[in-house]
């Protein structure tokens, strides 16, 4: 099995990254704070004022280590990658299928099914683990409707209708998201998704974790030689990693959302870690961001049984495995793309 490697998140403002031979050095005020072998890393994510030496960029490109720059708040800025590698024939097949509506919908459909089923399982788990009576009354109908939407999606041949079904499922799921918050409810309440900017702490957390997920999805796709921008479900837009967004749909609920919920419910973060700005945007402070990053990394190390592979793998490898399965399908090795179904 491929090894799950670490991602180095650098949040210290003014940090300077360089390398000495095979080691990546994190220097702060001319003092080396951290030294890591490059072969232990699959990615480096720099938040805000973090600089990297050009030789380090080169080394990252050469070794396939994804180097990403985000703003201090986690907004995507730029990515460094080496020469385009992978199989150009595979990418051409990816473009062909993406441009053929009949083919694209087959892949998009399975991704949507995966997303719907995983949202549904997240709700079912809440019901099973601590379903209060009133939650039952709210959650159970949504679980049923998500099941029906899954069945509808299964038969859908039209991409626009499929996107509509996906939107409906997301609305159903987020309509009860607040019920899954069981602690600190006075501060952490969820009404609806707000993204640019997030208008409450829950949305700020969700957006931040989704950003981490996009970063990982992009590297997973590049790792198997697919173009992260050429998507099936998400419409193309310059600069948008549509395929990475497609790929992460299956993981939003079972990886990202559950992480956010447990941070709140287990009181690992609290209201003090957030601040509302004049425009209404809610930002998290450095300490909270670090707590989220640490839990995200921990979650990625947890083992999970992959339902299609029937093999136990760390959560953090799932994106890589799904990218591999997608490449397999495009290459003609497999009759369909099997989405990740969380159980």
Partner 1 sequence: MYSEDNLLPLSALQHLLFCERQCALIHIEQQWDENVLTVEGKGMHKRSDQSQTESRGNIRLARGVWLKCLRLGLTGRADLVEFHRIDSPGEGVALANISGRWRPFPVEDKHGRPKKDLMDKVQLCGQALCLEEMLNVRIASGALFYGKTRHRLDVVFDDDLRSQTEKAARRLRQLLASGATPPAVYEKKCDSCSLYEQCRPKLLQQNNASVWLTRMIREAVV
Binding residues for partner 1, rule: CB under 8 A, are 1-2, 39, 85-87, 89-90, 110, 113, 117, 120-121, 147, 150-151, 154, 224-225, 307-309, 324-325, 328-329, 331, 333-339, 341, 343
CA distance 45 to 50: 10
List C-alpha distances in Å: 90 to 22, 224, 324, 327: 32, 10, 12, 8
CB of 38 to partner 1, least distance (A): 11
Q: Is the Cβ of residue 29 or residue 335 nearer to partner 1 in the bound state?
A: 335
Cβ distance to partner 1 smaller for residue 3 or 30 = 3
Nearer to partner 1, 273 or 338 (CB): 338
In the complex with partner 1, the residue whose CB is nearer, 244 or 324, is: 324
Q: How far is the CB of 34 from partner 1 (least distance, A)?
A: 23
**What are the two backbone dihedrals, phi and then psi, of residue 303, each rounded to the nearest 5 degrees?**
-85, 150
Enumerate residues 6+ apart whose C-beta is below 8 A from 138. Answer: 176, 179
Contacting residues for 167 by C-beta, under 8 A, at least 6 apart: none
Place of tokens 């180097």: 67
Shortest gap between Cβ of 157 and partner 1 (angstroms)?
Answer: 14
Closest CB to partner 1 among 204 and 243? 243
Q: In angstroms, give the least distance from the CB of 338 to partner 1.
A: 4
How far apart are alpha carbons 328 and 147 in whole angstroms? 28
What is the smallest separation between the CB atom of 145 and partner 1, expressed in angstroms? 11
- Separation CA 202–CA 216 (nearest Å): 21
Contact 225, 327 (CB under 8 A): yes
């Amino acid at each position: 099995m491929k090894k799950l490697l670490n991602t180095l998140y650098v949040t210290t403002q003014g940090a300077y990254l360089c390398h000495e031979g095979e080691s990546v050095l994190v220097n702060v005020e001319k003092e080396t704070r951290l030294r890591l072998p490059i072969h232990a890393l699959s990615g480096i994510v720099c938040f805000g004022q973090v600089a990297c030496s050009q030789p380090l960029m080169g080394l990252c490109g050469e070794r396939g280590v994804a180097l990403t720059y985000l703003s201090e708040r986690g907004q995507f800025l730029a990515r460094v990658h080496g020469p385009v590698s992978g199989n150009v024939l595979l990418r051409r097949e990816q473009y062909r299928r993406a441009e053929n509506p009949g083919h694209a919908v087959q892949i998009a459909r399975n991704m949507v099914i995966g997303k719907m089923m995983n949202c549904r399982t997240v709700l079912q788990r809440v019901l099973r683990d601590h379903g209060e009576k009133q939650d039952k009354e709210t959650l159970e109908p949504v679980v049923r409707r998500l099941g029906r939407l899954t069945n509808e999606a299964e038969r859908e041949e039209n991409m626009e209708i499929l996107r509509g079904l996906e939107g409906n499922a997301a609305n159903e799921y987020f309509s009860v998201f607040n019920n899954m918050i069981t602690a600190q409810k006075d501060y952490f309440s969820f009404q609806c998704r707000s993204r640019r900017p997030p208008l409450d702490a829950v949305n700020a957390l969700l957006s931040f974790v989704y950003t981490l997920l996009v970063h990982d999805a992009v590297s997973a796709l590049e790792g198997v030689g697919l173009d992260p921008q050429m998507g099936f479900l998400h419409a193309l837009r310059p600069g948008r990693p549509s395929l990475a967004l497609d790929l992460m749909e299956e993981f939003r609920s079972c990886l990202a959302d559950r992480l956010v919920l447990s941070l709140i419910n287990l009181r690992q973060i609290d209201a003090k870690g957030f601040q509302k700005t004049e425009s209404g945007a809610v930002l998290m402070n450095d300490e909270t961001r670090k707590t989220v990053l640490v839990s995200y990394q921990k979650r990625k190390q947890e083992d999970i049984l992959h339902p299609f592979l029937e093999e136990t793998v760390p959560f953090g490898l799932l994106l890589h495995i799904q990218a591999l399965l997608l490449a397999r399908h495009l290459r003609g090795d497999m009759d369909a793309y099997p989405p990740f179904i969380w159980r």
